[in-house]
């Protein structure tokens, strides 16, 4: 039986007075890649923040059966990494120094950089193809290159769990494939990866998919299962359809559904 990396029990979360997540119950098995998808406003990013311990919640969140909220911050930072969407900052730092930030939780009170820290950063930069501009300032890079540097920083931590919020933003198709290979490498080494993705074809390449709508989990299942495909189509109002193309799942726009939706809204037609 697979070990559970993250578990939420009767979990709800609010932003101000607005309830965003309601009655969430889920398990994420260790050593798996889980993609989180759903329409805008479904609560995907909020769920990721709660799982990272960055937002308070009602109910319980367990990290390998430890209460996430009571874990010491440094221990949590060593074992669980959160990569935000549209992150800014550190633009005046060299790339290699930004990546080294991922090793801060591993360093002692004196903050000395070890050979292990250097090796972890070099490996992370190789995985993300960022070694070639390691001495450049982050702010000199394109948005896609900056995103790869931030992924390298996350990988350098060598944490048990990676929480990635829209990690493919600004990445061109070749680098999206590189990202996929990097994630698969992490998972093969036992890391649990949980990623919020808008790129549905890429999300279907994960081991498992969590589908959300209006702050609730409406489906959790293997990406290869027909039930997952039908749930994905349903949450997007049948405006997409999952098809098999050369043995791989593809997501196509359902133009007939979109035309019908437009006709219903236009009284002149």
pTM of the predicted model over 0.95: no
Q: What is the pLDDT of residue 239?
A: 94
Read off the pLDDT of residues 38-49 as tens digits, 9 standing for 90 and up. 999 999 999 999
> How much is the pLDDT for 263?
55
pLDDT for position 85: 83
Q: DSSP for 7-19?
A: EEEEEEEEETTEE
For the chain, list residues with pLDDT below 50: 268-269
Q: Is residue 248 part of a domain?
A: no
In a domain, 259, yes or no: no
Residue 184 is part of which domain span? Answer: 4-236
Q: How many helices, marked H, and strands, marked E, lie in the chain?
A: 9, 12
Integer Cα distance of 159 and 114 in angstroms? 17
The continuous run of DSSP H or E covering 35 comes out as: strand 33-37
Query: What pLDDT shows up at residue 269?
Result: 45
Edge to edge, the sheet with strand 33-37 lists 80-83, 161-165, 192-196, 33-37, 208-213, 216-222
**Distance between CA 261 and CA 269 in Å, rounded?**
12
Q: How far apart are CA 221 and CA 227, in angstroms?
A: 8
Tell me whether residue 247 is in a domain: no
Cα(69)–Cα(65) distance, integer angstroms: 12
Give pLDDT, residue 109.
63
The answer to whether position 204 is within a domain reads yes
C-alpha separations of 226 from 9, 71, 141, 190, 257 in Å? 27, 38, 41, 27, 20
Return the pLDDT at 89: 80
Domain-embedded: residue 200:
yes
Cβ–Cβ under 8 Å, residues 159 and 78? yes
Number of structural domains the chain divides into: 1
Q: Choose among 226, 224, 222, 244: nearest CA to 234.
A: 226
**From CA 147, how far away is CA 149, in angstroms rounded?**
5
State the pLDDT at residue 246: 82
Q: Is 75 helix (H, G, I), strand (E, B) or coil?
A: helix
Q: Is the backbone of residue 241 left (phi > 0), alpha (psi -120 to 50) or beta?
A: beta
C-beta separation of 162 from 192 below 8 A: yes
Q: Give backbone dihedrals phi and psi of 107, rounded to 5 degrees, phi first.
A: -90, 150
Provide the greatest CA pair distance for the chain: 72
What does DSSP assign to residue 112?
Answer: P
3-state secondary structure of 215: coil
257, part of any domain: no
Q: Give the percent of the chain with pLDDT over 70.
A: 93
CATH at 106: 3.40.50.300
Residue 241 domain-assigned (yes or no): no
pLDDT of residue 201: 93
Would residue 244 count as lying in a domain? no
């Amino acid at each position: 039986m697979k070990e559970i990396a993250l578990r939420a029990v009767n979990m709800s979360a609010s932003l101000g007075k607005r309830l965003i997540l309601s009655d969430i119950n889920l398990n994420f098995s260790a050593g798996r890649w889980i993609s989180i998808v759903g329409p805008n406003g479904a609560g995907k990013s909020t769920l990721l923040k709660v799982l990272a311990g960055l937002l308070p919640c009602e109910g319980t969140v367990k990290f390998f059966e430890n209460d996430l909220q009571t874990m010491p911050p440094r221990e949590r930072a060593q074992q669980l990494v959160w990569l935000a969407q549209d992150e800014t900052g550190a633009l005046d730092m060299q790339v290699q120094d930004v990546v080294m930030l991922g090793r801060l939780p591993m360093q002692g009170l004196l903050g000395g950089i070890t050979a292990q820290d250097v090796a972890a950063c070099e490996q992370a930069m190789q995985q993300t193809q960022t070694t070639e501009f390691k001495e450049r300032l982050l702010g000199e890079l394109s948005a896609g290159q900056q995103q790869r540097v931030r992924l390298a920083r996350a990988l350098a931590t060598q944490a048990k769990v990676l929480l990635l919020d829209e990690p493919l933003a600004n990445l061109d198709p070749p680098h999206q494939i590189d990202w996929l290979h990097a994630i698969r490498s992490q998972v093969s080494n036992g890391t649990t990866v949980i990623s919020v993705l808008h790129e549905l074809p890429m999300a279907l390449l994960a081991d498992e998919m969590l589908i959300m709508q209006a702050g609730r989990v409406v489906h959790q299942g293997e990406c290869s299962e027909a039930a997952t495909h039908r749930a994905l189509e349903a949450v997007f109002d049948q405006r997409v359809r999952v098809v098999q193309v050369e043995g791989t799942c593809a997501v196509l726009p359902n133009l007939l559904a979109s035309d019908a939706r437009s006709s219903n809204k236009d009284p002149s037609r």
